[in-house]
Amino acid sequence: MKILSILGYLLMVAGILGLFFTQSLFSSFPLTVALQVIALLLMFWARKTLGMRSFHLSAEPTKGVLITSGPYKYIRHPIYAAVCLFVLASVTGSFSLISLLCAFVVIIGSILRIFCEEKSLLKIYPEYAEYSQKSKRMIPFVF
């Protein structure tokens, strides 16, 4: 699982770099800017809710209590959701097959990491099974 998780991370980085180097990551298109601001706010809210927990290259949960408040009350993976929203917004400002492919690579990487992380979360936090029944992964009421 650790290798798959790192692969997911590398896919996310590759997709974001692809958008950056094709000058598709940022745009002055108002819809793009609005969606990216929303994505950044979601990411900051999630990080603030997590507190001092650290980031791991592989999707390994940190020790402590299971966080189910803040954005985690509505979706289990708000940081991954924020990254995906950010890159999908990039596509709205600079649509091309390349930008769409890069966003798709980021989304695939995120989903791969989510499934790896959830397996670890179930081992560490027995209450995660019940929590996962009450919230969606990335999109409220959908996925």
Q: What does pTM read for this prediction?
A: 0.91
Average pLDDT, the chain: 92
Containing structural domain, residue 69? 2-49+64-134
**Please, is 136 exposed, middle or buried when counting C-beta atoms within 10 Å of its C-beta (0-12, 13-18, 19+)?**
middle
Cβ(32)–Cβ(92) under 8 Å? yes
Tell me if 18 is assigned to some domain: yes
Cβ(135)–Cβ(72) under 8 Å? yes
Domain count, the chain: 1
Tell me if 41 is assigned to some domain: yes
Tell me if 56 is assigned to some domain: no
Element spanning 71, H or E:
none
Closest C-alpha to 114, from 88, 87, 141, 79: 79
Q: Distance (Å, rounded) from C-alpha 127 to C-alpha 112?
A: 22
Tell me if 15 is assigned to some domain: yes
Tell me if 86 is assigned to some domain: yes
Please say if the pLDDT value at position 50 is more than 90: no
Tell me if 58 is assigned to some domain: no
Tell me if 139 is assigned to some domain: no
The 10s digit of each residue's pLDDT in 83-133 is: 999 999 999 999 999 999 999 999 999 999 999 999 999 988 989 999 999
Cβ(108)–Cβ(47) under 8 Å? no
The whole-number pLDDT of residue 54 equals 67
Q: Distance (Å, rounded) from C-alpha 42 to C-alpha 38?
A: 6
Tell me if 141 is assigned to some domain: no
